Chains A and B, each alone.
Chain A
């Protein structure tokens, strides 16, 4: 059980303070050991962790409208990075740039550069299908296919032509999503017969079945009750050992409970016609962001002054 589960609704009051040592500890602190000075997620972060996504001056236009501007950030391997911020701040938009789902929106245009493991994600020769096999995604509302539980998991491996015993692949994915014991006797039944929380874990299992590097989660718990939310958060903490996770959440407590680093986005009047443009206000280790924010806007947001 994650010790931060009992965290008070205001993380500033109860979260242990983070020291500079924890931030600069070079001793490969990726192991999930209980450290005296740890993040809410129960581990300290490695400042030298490899960079999975390197964003530089990223902007997103929808047609003539600028939605997000000037984002610089580095998302690191085997960490959970949370995007928080008020509605319209562009956090989901930015997330969808990371596996090029924004390509599906007509008129969407990404500026700046996003490097994924050293390669330009928007380079001219990049195959979006290849991108999405490495960078999986879980959506706001559970979206299982109207097929059996088994077929939901097997779809990804099948279209990618993955070798190996499909039964094993399915079992492994469901086990990783701690769903196997609940569904092993009804793999052939329709996924729509599952509860909302189970459906969302099925979608996570489905994303893992293709062995991605990264799993993007766009408000994965917003349609779920608190118990299902808790299970998914536990699952995310387990999955961190194997995957890099980026999660968009409206729920600041959730960001505080699960993430290693948090990016706070804000939306401001800008441009010539007073259009609302999302920008990155602060990106810091989660504990620092919640206890000692460097930007006054972060402080105002997390203490409930707006949003």
Chain B
């Protein structure tokens, strides 16, 4: 206890503050206006989006039943469905995936791990990939038409041509996102592996690539969900506007969800417009599932360094 030694003394003098600490109690008008305008901008965006989704859901939800999801196209709105469109979309997305995963990852590894930045041709490739990612999709459609559907490969307007076209369209995006994932693996991991006597190839294949797989997968899924909604290039490569059977191979004719939706909207009868709303809901649902998978992968497996 310090009671015996502590002698209470006079309270220490309090110096006068040079100015009062009290404010007006109100936020000045400039920051307040700024904050309100930010909120208004956000609200406007959300209201527009919500209106579109709700309006579509009101029209489209009653259409969603098993016959709508499985039936083929028909001139009778009561019998028309989007079965072939769903299958067509899955087929072309599958083809695109098979194309972009190996090509995208290989290109990204080359650019990140092997390319010598001081060489002009490597810098040119980089700039070109950035530019290709911004090329309008219809240009890829024309490319697909000229080189895949007709021209050198002459595949015809089939699943393979449609899938390859969409794959080429999103390939730059996949390369860019795969490069970012590979770059995110710290140099310390590469040094650690090399210092143990691993070759460059072993370091990349066994350490760098496994560590960047979640990021690469996320990038691929997001790229594919962009591809799924593409309409213009598929129209150009000649996707069928009207399909009565599901595609059954790489060489079969196909339609796809956005094409089917576009086709229905162009019909004069009101019933087809309701069917289009149903198709939009199916497309949105698929996109939602894919984007959720991407977010899950990113949060669950992405390495925190």
| Interface of A toward B, CB cutoff 8 Å | 99, 101, 104, 106, 129-130, 132-133, 136-137, 139, 141, 143-147, 155-156, 159-160, 192, 203, 206-207, 210
Residues of chain B lying within 8 A (CB to CB) of residue A156? 196-198
CB nearest to A146 among chain B residues: B303
Residues of chain B lying within 8 A (CB to CB) of residue A203? 192
B136 contacts the other chain (CB 8 A): no
The complex places the Cα of A132 from the Cα of B192 at a distance, in Å, of 11
A145 and B189 in contact, given A155-B206, A159-B202, A159-B206 (Cβ under 8 angstroms):
yes
The complex places the Cα of A210 from the Cα of B196 at a distance, in Å, of 7
- Of B192, B193, B197, B206, most A-chain CB atoms within 10 Å: B197
B194 contacts the other chain (CB 8 A): yes
B62 contacts the other chain (CB 8 A): no
Question: Smallest CB–CB gap between A241 and chain B, Å?
Answer: 22
* Per-position 1/0 for B158-196, Cβ under 8 A of A: 000000000000000000000000000010110111111
B207 contacts the other chain (CB 8 A): yes
Residues of chain A lying within 8 A (CB to CB) of residue B194? 101, 104, 132
Add 7 more A-B contacts to A99-B195, A159-B197 (CB < 8 A): A129-B197, A132-B194, A132-B195, A136-B195, A141-B188, A146-B303, A155-B206
Cβ contact within 8 Å between A159 and B199: yes
Cβ contact within 8 Å between B192 and A139: yes
Question: Smallest CB–CB gap between A203 and chain B, Å?
Answer: 7
- Count of chain B residues with a beta carbon within 8 Å of a chain A beta carbon: 21
Q: Please list 24 pairs of residues, one from A and one from B, whose beta carbons are closer than 8 Å in the complex, sorted by A's number.
A: A99-B195, A101-B195, A104-B191, A104-B194, A129-B197, A132-B194, A132-B197, A137-B191, A137-B195, A139-B191, A139-B195, A143-B188, A143-B189, A143-B192, A144-B192, A145-B193, A147-B210, A159-B193, A159-B197, A159-B198, A159-B199, A159-B202, A207-B195, A210-B197
Cβ contact within 8 Å between B207 and A145: yes
| Interface of B toward A, CB cutoff 8 Å | 116, 118, 186, 188-189, 191-199, 202, 206-207, 210-211, 303-304
Residues of chain B lying within 8 A (CB to CB) of residue A143? 186, 188-189, 191-192
The complex places the Cα of A139 from the Cα of B187 at a distance, in Å, of 12
- Of A99, A133, A143, A147, most B-chain CB atoms within 10 Å: A143
Cβ contact within 8 Å between B192 and A145: yes
Residues of chain A lying within 8 A (CB to CB) of residue B207? 145, 155
Cβ contact within 8 Å between A159 and B211: no
Residues of chain B lying within 8 A (CB to CB) of residue A144? 192
Residues of chain B lying within 8 A (CB to CB) of residue A136? 195-196
CB nearest to A158 among chain B residues: B206
Residues of chain A lying within 8 A (CB to CB) of residue B116? 106
Cβ contact within 8 Å between B196 and A159: yes
Residues of chain A lying within 8 A (CB to CB) of residue B191? 101, 104, 137, 139, 143
Residues of chain B lying within 8 A (CB to CB) of residue A99? 195
Residues of chain B lying within 8 A (CB to CB) of residue A129? 197-199
Residues of chain A lying within 8 A (CB to CB) of residue B118? 106
The complex places the Cα of A44 from the Cα of B183 at a distance, in Å, of 48
The complex places the Cα of A132 from the Cα of B116 at a distance, in Å, of 24
CB nearest to A156 among chain B residues: B196
The complex places the Cα of A99 from the Cα of B191 at a distance, in Å, of 11
The complex places the Cα of A136 from the Cα of B193 at a distance, in Å, of 10
Cβ contact within 8 Å between B197 and A160: yes
Cβ contact within 8 Å between A146 and B198: no
The complex places the Cα of A141 from the Cα of B188 at a distance, in Å, of 8
CB nearest to B203 among chain A residues: A159
A207 and B211 in contact, given A143-B188, A143-B191, A159-B206 (Cβ under 8 angstroms):
no
